[in-house]
Every structure is written in structure tokens, then in C-alpha cells.
A and B are shown apart, each in its own frame.
Chain A
Amino acid sequence: MDYAALSDQQVVQLARSGRERAYRELIGRYQRPVFSLIYRLVRDREKAEDLAQDTFIKVLNAIDRYDPKFKFSSWIFKIAHNTALDQLRRRHPETLSLDGSPHAATSAEAEASTITPASHDETPEQFTLNRELGSEIEAAIGDLREEYRTAIVLCHVEGRPYEEIAEIMDVPLGTVKTYIHRGRKELMKQLEHLRC
């Protein structure tokens, strides 16, 4: 059977019937997108490997509970996102809770609700030391708040439509549009010096 020609739903069906090759096909299809998303969120290759592995183990062990009404990609990205968020919360509990309300309607509100944390266990300089994430644009993405970063990566790197990003992040469509717009604006600001 040519697994590559099958849709995600068909491969999931085969996995449910106990075909190990179907499990491997799903890993092959999603290992790069899932790892890339997590890596860009946690910005630590070793940690990202562990989290991506955890994501796949959770997904594949719960394959019987997958609801085929939804896209498989939405499901796996949602679990990857939540897994990465759990890690970020453990690592930077103060950053995520104090980094401004993600639901702020205006930039002034966002600014007003932002409190700079006293310390991080990784600095932007350390980020840029990383060879893979060392480009200006990767560094700028790394400086975005988590919500903007996730939305930007899903939209521009993974090419996911806004509706699917809303499902993955579990926020309304309008909020996704706001995240992406603000994220892009932040990036333009941060990359301004490159245009001079």
C-alpha cells in the first residue's frame, strides 16, 4: 500500500486498525512541522526534541480518541502548542503572566499591562548564539511574545489558515488576526535597521 498517497484521515484509520507503518507515516509527515513550531517557541533544541517526542507519544497513544471531524494537523499542532506552553510556563512563570494581556484591545493597553521580568534563564544574546535561530529574523521572532510568535510561525512558516490557527490556539478568529497583525508590526519595528 502506498501510504504517501493516502490522506491524513486514511492513515489515522489504518493506525487505529493496528498498522505500525501508519504510525510511522504520521511521524514522517509531521515531525518537521511539529518540531519547528516547538523549537521556535522554546528556543532550545534539546528541550524541543523532548517536547516534540512527548507530543507524538501523546497523539499516537490517543489515536482512538481523535475526532475525524477536525483536521489531524489542527489536533497535533494544538497538542504541540499546549506541550510547549506548559514547558514555557514552568520555565518562565512570571514572564507569561506579566507580559501584558494578550486580549488588550490597543497597544496602549498592552503596554500598560506589561511588566518586564527581573530575569530570564536565557538572554537574547544566548538565543543568537544558536546557529539555526541566529538570523536577524529568527532573533526578532524569538523576541515576540509567545502568542504572536505561535501565530506568526503557524501562518508564515506552516502556511496554516487563520481559522485553523484559531482552533490550534483555542482563541477566536479575530484574536488570531490581531496577534498576527501585531506580531508583524513588532517584526517590522525590530527589523527596521536592516532597511537603512
Chain B
Amino acid sequence: MSDRYHPTEDRLEAFVEGLLDAGERVVIESHLVGCPRCGAQVEEWRALFAALSGLPQFEPAPGFAERVMSGVRVAPKAKRRPSWQRARGWAAGRAATVGTAVAGVLPKSTFGWAVAAAFLALPVLAGAAFTAWLLSRSYLTPETLWAYVSSRAVEGVQSLGSTALTAALQTDVIAWLVLRGGELLETAGATGVGAVLATVSAATMLSIWVLYRNLIRTPTRETNYVTFSF
């Protein structure tokens, strides 16, 4: 075989060490079949590798671990926390898990928030639009409309009250719930009811504002990131 094609010494070393890829291995293996000179070099490398891999590890004198430990400061054991602290930690962990789950389903972009807000605001808008349409009819005045709505509401409340009363009389749990609900209403009073109504109104207004900002008004900025956050 021509001398030009002898693999370099580095290649032969890498071949013995097993560092070559399959293609290079095949090339060298086929070369070795007809080249005693390279074959001898490979045998030398193999002998060296075998001798080195046969070298033993040495054992320090007996009592080594004890001598080491006499100079080591073992870290103080972590004290077991009281049960209430562990319970608080557990609750915090669960809360974090729930928070992560909720965050996972919340919208990730302005558009997502706008769609969510639309879902919240659309029923209100639809109701407002329907009321406006009714009031625009010539045969309907606010007085007649109010009379109709209030009579229907009274009928509905009466019907609901009758049903609830029947159920309450038939079921102890419902009776208990009605009782507790009544007590709660008494306790909360007009202020509590007003606070609930104010909260619902604020949430509705916020939804409408988000919808307006993102779906109706044309954005002036050419950005893809969220332009506001909650």
C-alpha cells in the first residue's frame, strides 16, 4: 500500500481509544489488514492502554475516615419545624399550585384579555341595546315599560319564593340554607347589598372599557406586547 495513505499516529491512537466514528473506523480497519507497520503501531498503543488500565487504586491506611472526621465540622441537623409551620408551608404550596393553574388558563395577550372581557360585557351590552330599542318604540313609554317589568319581576319573585318555600318545607337542607341566607341578608343590610352591586358594576364597567380599548378603538402603536395589565 502506498505510504501516502497511512493514517497519522493521532488517528491510530484515537482508533485504539475508540474515539473515531464508524466510517473512520472502517477505513482504518481495512488499512490495517494490509499494513504491518500501522498494525504494529496499533498493537503498541493497545499494549500501553492495557497496561494503564490495569493500574490499581491504592488504599489509605486503616482509620483514614476517622482521622478525616476528627477534623470535620458536621453541619447542625435541621430542626423539625412545628406542625403549624409545616401546615402553613403545605397550604402555601397548594396555593402556589392553584395560582399556577389559574395563571395557566388566563389570557396571555391583549387580544386574549379583550376576548375574555367581551364575554363578560356582551350580555350587558345586549341588554342595554335591547332596552334602548324598546324605549325607542312609540307605543312604549318608560312608565309602561317599568310597569310591565315590575309586574313580571313581582310575579317572578313570587313564583321563585313559592318554589323556594315549597322546597324549603320539603327539604331540611334547603330550609336551613334559606334561613341562613335570610340571616346573612339581615346582617349585611343595605350597605352589604350596595357593596356587592358596586363591585358588579365596577367589573362590568372595566370589561366594557377593555373591550372598547382593544376591539373598537384603533390601536395607534405598532406593538405586539401587552399594552396594559391587570
What 9 A-B pairs have minimum CB-CB distances, sorted nearest first?
A18-B77, A156-B52, A57-B71, A56-B68, A32-B57, A36-B57, A35-B60, A60-B72, A18-B75
B interface residues with partner A (beta carbon < 8 Å)? 10, 13, 44-45, 47-49, 51-53, 55-61, 64-65, 67-69, 71-78
A interface residues with partner B (beta carbon < 8 Å)? 15-20, 23-24, 27-28, 31-33, 35-36, 39, 48-49, 52-53, 56-57, 60-61, 63-64, 132, 137-138, 141, 152-153, 156-157, 181, 184, 187-188, 191, 195
In the complex, what distance in Å separates the CA atom of A57 from the CA atom of B74? 11
Q: Which of B44, B53, B59 contacts A156 (CB 8 A)?
A: B53
B60 and A31: CB pair below 8 A? yes
B47 and A195: CB pair below 8 A? yes
Query: Closest residue of chain A to B68, judged by CB?
Result: A56
- Nearest-neighbour CB distance to chain A for B16, whole angstroms, equals 10
| With known contacts A20-B74, A32-B58, A184-B13, A53–B51 Cβ distance under 8 A | no
| With known contacts A35-B59, A137-B51, A156-B55, A17–B68 Cβ distance under 8 A | no
- Nearest-neighbour CB distance to chain A for B44, whole angstroms, equals 6
| With known contacts A32-B58, A157-B55, A181-B10, A18–B68 Cβ distance under 8 A | no
A18 and B58: CB pair below 8 A? no
Query: Which A residues touch B78, using CB under 8 A?
Result: 17-18
18 A-B contacts (beta carbon < 8 Å): A15-B75, A16-B75, A18-B75, A18-B76, A19-B77, A32-B57, A36-B56, A49-B64, A53-B67, A53-B68, A56-B72, A60-B68, A137-B51, A156-B53, A188-B45, A188-B48, A191-B51, A195-B47
A31 and B75: CB pair below 8 A? no
In the complex, what distance in Å separates the CA atom of A181 from the CA atom of B57? 22
Sample of 5 further A-B pairs with CB below 8 A, known A27-B64, A35-B59, A52-B60: A31-B64, A32-B59, A33-B57, A39-B58, A53-B64
